[in-house]
Amino acid sequence: MNEPDFKVLFVCMGNVCRSPTAEAVFFKKLADRDLLHKIKIDSAGTHNFHPGAPPDERSQIHARKRGYDLSNLRARPVVESDFEAFDLLLTMDWDNRALLEERCPARHLQKIRGMAEFLQTTQASVIPDPYDGGDQGFEQVLDLIEEASDGLMKFILQKMQA
């Protein structure tokens, strides 16, 4: 099998809410455009709170209502080889970005960016953590990730054409 043209790792704290949601949303967008063979995606957490656990049930329920399937995803921590393996490591908030930057070899620092940087119309600097909130938080995360995924798709396609 050919090596993908571009590789993205979505990163949040525990890899049970935001980053698996981003992985599932972007997976569907890639599948809809027949790009799964060209772009590899994964998700991980800066903390190893839930190794091997499925995404938070609330994330799964809200995502399923919009046609996204998180059920096959399992939490894992960011590992050292991720910095080399991925072209882009997208963090969901400033805390996780700082943690990732602390661990990242200097030669790969430019690969770390925020998911919210790819929002096209919404003004937000982070994808907020819905874990301790109610249903609205999970819906907001989906709204932001859907929009940022569209901007990310444009970015990656431009990179691949360059």
Annotated active-site residue 12? The verdict is yes
The pLDDT, as a whole number, for residue 1 is: 59
Q: Tell me what pLDDT residue 162 has.
A: 80
Q: What distance in Å separates the CA atoms of residue 92 and residue 13, rounded to the nearest whole number?
A: 8
Is 95 marked active-site? no
pTM: 0.97
Check 12, 42, 76, 93 and give the catalytic one: 12
Copy the structure tokens of residue 25. 């949303």
Structure tokens at 150: 């569209």
- Mean pLDDT on 8-33: 97
Question: Above pLDDT 70, what percent of the chain?
Answer: 99
Name the active-site residue from 17, 18, 76, 93: 18
Annotation says 17 is catalytic: no
pLDDT at 39 over 80: yes
Q: Quick one: three-class SS letters along 28-84?
A: HHHHHCCCCCCEEEEEEECCCCCCCCCCCHHHHHHHHHCCCCCCCCCCCECCHHHHH
Distance of alpha carbon 27 from alpha carbon 43, whole angstroms: 11
The pLDDT tens digits for 45-88 are: 999 999 999 999 999 999 999 999 999 999 999 999 999 999 99
User: Under a CB-based contact definition with an 8 Å cutoff, are residues 68 and 23 in contact?
Assistant: no
Helix (H) or strand (E) holding 97: helix 94-103
CA dist., res. 143 & res. 117, Å (int): 14
6-161 to CATH, choices 3.40.1390.30, 3.30.70.3150, 3.90.470.20, 3.40.50.2300: 3.40.50.2300
Tokens standing for residue 37:
């063979």
Which tokens in the block code for residue 73?
Answer: 């995803």
Catalytic residue among 56, 82, 93, 129: 129
